[in-house]
Amino acid sequence: MSKMKNIIAANWKMNPDSQKEAEKIFNAIKQGVKGAKSEVVVCPPVIYIPLLKGLPIGAQNVYFEDKGAFTGEVSPAMLKDLGVEYVIIGHFERRKHFGETDEQINKKIRKSLESGLKIIFCIGETTEERAEGKKNEVLERQIKLGLKEAESYKLKAESLNVAYEPVWAIGTGNNCSVEETKESIDFIRTLAPKSIRILYGGSVKSENFGDYIKKSGANGLLVGGASLDAVEFTKIIRSAEQ
């Protein structure tokens, strides 16, 4: 694991609401992270991707077919053609608002790996599941079903990144403690292929990014809301590298 760079990914979700603003934030991030030791990946809405050059780009979603009658969808090959390197798959907001299932997530992961995209595969338990003591059961189910038969694509360590994102921590301001994150990351390491990068995500800000990278065993961060503020996002990256 040691030689791989940490990865700090920005998930802009469905923001910002203009090309001009997207370029402005992106250029400020690009400027701010010059010389950073981590791999900084920006995941904008897919429509802005052709505008943004100079940092590795990730998409926030993908479909699992090559092309055809799938109105509104975008294929892994189309993303590759745009120069996209990463794709977020299985984000909680897609599971919740769009009913994405573990089976669909698995198809997206396999097709994307086959197409040469790197994956940021999101998993995490809800408040209720955590309260009922089912966290590990949920993480295990999401990993097993999400990565089913994915080994057949000869997973390279850098191709698969798992983001541990407790649902109760996403966009709530209630980040998971470093200790609890460590427990989950240690558990995920027992299930996922060896030597992959595991990220933490959930209300990361410059004042609370804390010791995730140093003490929880995380190899990076997935940052939502705070990544739309270039100064704040840059601060997170710089602090995480100290």
Using a 10 angstrom Cβ sphere, with 0-12 exposed, 13-18 middle and 19 or more buried, the burial of residue 53 is: exposed
CA distance linking residue 176 with residue 233, whole number of Å:
19
CA distance linking residue 94 with residue 112, whole number of Å:
17
Residues 6+ apart with CB under 8 A from 190: none
Choose between 127 and 152: whose C-beta lies nearer to ligand PEP: 127
CA distance linking residue 24 with residue 42, whole number of Å:
13
Residues listed for the chain: 242
What tokens were used for 15? 């923001």
Nearest approach in angstroms of CB 224 to ligand PEP is 2
Nearest approach in angstroms of CB 2 to ligand PEP is 25
Q: Is 236 in the site for ligand PEP (CB under 6 A)?
A: no
Choose between 84 and 151: whose C-beta lies nearer to ligand PEP: 84
The residue nearest ligand PEP at its CB is 224
Sole window of 51-59, 95-103, 150-158, 224-232 interacting with ligand PEP (rule: CB under 6 A) = 224-232
Q: Which of 16, 85, 56, 1 is nearest to 229 (CA)?
A: 16
Residues 6+ apart with CB under 8 A from 109: 89, 90, 119, 121, 146, 147, 150
Query: Could you say which of 224, 228, 230, 234 contacts ligand PEP (CB under 6 A)?
Result: 224
Nearest approach in angstroms of CB 72 to ligand PEP is 21
Choose between 15 and 195: whose C-beta lies nearer to ligand PEP: 15
φ, ψ dihedrals at 82, nearest 5°: -85, -5
Catalytic hit among 39, 91, 100, 125: 91
Q: Known catalytic residue: 93? A: no
Find the binding residues for ligand PEP in span 154-213 (CB under 6 A).
Answer: 165, 170-171, 201-204
Choose between 44 and 225: whose C-beta lies nearer to ligand PEP: 225
Q: Which of 213, 194, 185 is nearest to 155 (CA)?
A: 194
Q: Known catalytic residue: 103? A: no
How many residues bind ligand PEP (CB under 6 A)? The answer is: 14
Choose between 27 and 208: whose C-beta lies nearer to ligand PEP: 208
Catalytic hit among 39, 125, 129, 165: 165
Which residues of this chain interact with ligand PEP, rule CB under 6 A? 11, 13, 165, 170-171, 201-204, 222-226
Catalytic residues, which ones? 91, 165
